[in-house]
């Protein structure tokens, strides 16, 4: 008799477990963040907060799985496989993460909705067909900078310079796009442009030191690798007394000089609105245009600029959104 009861229990246990599992109807949202640095983390925070405002609360009706490969390609591939297998919707933060997740979804033959943020040029990265009509299962928000205005800061500061240096990571497509645009804008101002690239963070200080010794101004785009190690450049900037125009405000806080830049928290919240359209209204990513922010923040590291001998005009200080002293 006891054996019979045990047999019945073993028979119905899998069914009970399956029913329990069916009771957990939370939406599974995977997040792949390329690496840990302030801008990308702010985009993630804005996305999570934005979803909460739309009625999607972690632990109540959604569950987040946040993975971070810290730029390691092999790890990123493994993490992409995991998220594509288990997620109802995926947010990829930064271009390499977005490419990895999109490729993995194709490989697995899945049409999982994929959103990206902090991607500079999603069309060039082959993530979407066009900003207006993304097509496929991918869309999101771009962080294209106002590069003309950023390079124009040289004139707004009243500086007379001859050489502009551009520094970025060779493997980052988003950085190359910005570097080419910055070069064109600098040449319009009659500046000689010197471009140097790094392969990884290990050669950042060496290359940055060489570039800073050759130029009057350095331009560093929203480069993920350099942004994550920006604090290591402070001594080089101050030693060579070189103005550093950077891609976004978090890089100013980490040691850059000045920027007109994207607010990544707001960018993340904008991406959350896209997610809500998909989750609430059933809109397909193919029908959600990829957009960026229309407003930018002027952030000035006054303490650093004064340390390297640059006097910031009052007109520029008056219109600054943030001045670091």
The structural domain count of the chain equals 2
pLDDT of amino acid 252: 96
Q: What is the CATH number of the domain that holds 183?
A: 3.40.50.2300
pLDDT of amino acid 5: 46
pLDDT digits (tens, 9 = 90+) for 259-314: 999 999 999 999 999 999 999 999 999 999 999 998 899 999 999 999 999 999 99
Complete edge-to-edge strand list for the sheet that includes strand 192-198: 192-198, 163-169, 217-220, 243-246, 258-261, 297-301, 322-324
pLDDT digits (tens, 9 = 90+) for 183-202: 999 999 999 999 999 999 99
Nearest residue to 43 via CA among 53, 28, 33: 33
pLDDT of amino acid 39: 92
Nearest residue to 121 via CA among 148, 102, 94: 94
pLDDT of amino acid 147: 96
pLDDT of amino acid 294: 87
pLDDT digits (tens, 9 = 90+) for 193-229: 999 999 999 999 999 999 999 999 999 999 999 999 9
11 pLDDT above the threshold of 60: no
pLDDT digits (tens, 9 = 90+) for 141-185: 999 999 999 999 999 999 999 999 999 999 998 899 999 999 999
pTM of the model: 0.82
Give the up-direction half-sphere exposure of residue 130: CA atoms within 13 A in the CB hemisphere: 2
Assess whether 156 and 252 both reside in one domain. Answer: yes
pLDDT of amino acid 238: 93
pLDDT of amino acid 24: 61
Q: Cα separations (Å) of 22 from 85, 87, 218?
A: 18, 16, 56
Assess whether 54 and 89 both reside in one domain. Answer: yes
Rounded Cα distance between 94 and 42, Å, is 12
Assess whether 70 and 113 both reside in one domain. Answer: yes
Cα 168 to chain centroid distance, Å, stands at 15
Assess whether 38 and 178 both reside in one domain. Answer: no
**Is residue 135 situated within a structural domain?**
yes
19 pLDDT above the threshold of 80: no
pLDDT of amino acid 25: 83
For residues 223-240, average pLDDT: 93
Rounded Cα distance between 136 and 114, Å, is 10
Assess whether 214 and 306 both reside in one domain. Answer: yes
Assess whether 126 and 201 both reside in one domain. Answer: no
**Is residue 17 situated within a structural domain?**
no
Assess whether 182 and 77 both reside in one domain. Answer: no
**Is residue 83 situated within a structural domain?**
yes
Q: Domain range holding 184?
A: 147-261+296-324
Assess whether 139 and 44 both reside in one domain. Answer: yes
Assess whether 161 and 106 both reside in one domain. Answer: no
**Is residue 314 situated within a structural domain?**
yes
15 pLDDT above the threshold of 80: no
pLDDT digits (tens, 9 = 90+) for 54-104: 999 999 999 999 999 999 999 999 999 999 999 999 999 999 999 999 999
Nearest residue to 115 via CA among 138, 144, 94: 138
Q: Cα separations (Å) of 303 from 252, 253, 300, 315?
A: 11, 11, 9, 17
């Amino acid at each position: 008799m006891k054996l019979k009861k045990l047999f019945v229990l073993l028979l119905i246990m899998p069914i009970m477990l399956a029913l329990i599992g069916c009771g957990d109807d939370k939406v599974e949202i995977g997040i792949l963040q390329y690496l840990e640095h302030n801008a990308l983390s702010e985009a993630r925070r804005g996305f999570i907060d934005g979803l909460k405002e739309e009625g999607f609360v972690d632990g109540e009706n959604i569950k987040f799985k946040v993975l971070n490969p810290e730029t390691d390609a092999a790890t990123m591939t493994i993490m992409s496989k995991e998220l594509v297998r288990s997620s109802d919707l995926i947010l990829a933060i930064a271009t390499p993460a977005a490419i990895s997740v999109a490729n993995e979804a194709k490989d697995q033959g899945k049409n999982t909705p994929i959103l990206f943020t902090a991607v500079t040029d999603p069309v060039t990265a082959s993530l979407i067909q066009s900003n207006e009509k993304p097509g496929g299962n991918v869309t999101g928000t771009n962080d294209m900078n106002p590069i003309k205005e950023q390079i124009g800061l040289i004139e707004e500061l009243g500086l007379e310079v001859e050489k502009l240096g551009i520094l970025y990571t060779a493997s980052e497509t988003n950085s190359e796009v910005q570097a080419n645009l910055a070069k064109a804008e600098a040449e319009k101002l009659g500046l000689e442009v010197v471009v140097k690239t790094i392969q990884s963070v290990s050669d950042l200080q060496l290359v940055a030191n060489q570039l800073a010794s050759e130029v009057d101004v350095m331009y560093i785009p929203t480069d993920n690798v350099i942004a994550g190690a920006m604090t290591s450049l402070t001594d080089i900037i101050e030693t060579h007394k070189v103005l550093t125009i950077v891609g976004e405000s978090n890089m100013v806080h980490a040691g850059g000089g000045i920027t007109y830049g994207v607010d990544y928290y707001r960018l993340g919240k904008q991406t959350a609105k896209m997610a809500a359209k998909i989750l609430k209204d059933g809109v397909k990513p193919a029908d959600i245009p990829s957009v960026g922010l229309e407003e930018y923040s002027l952030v000035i590291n006054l303490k650093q600029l004064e340390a390297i001998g640059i006097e910031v005009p009052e007109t520029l200080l008056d219109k600054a959104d943030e001045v670091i002293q």
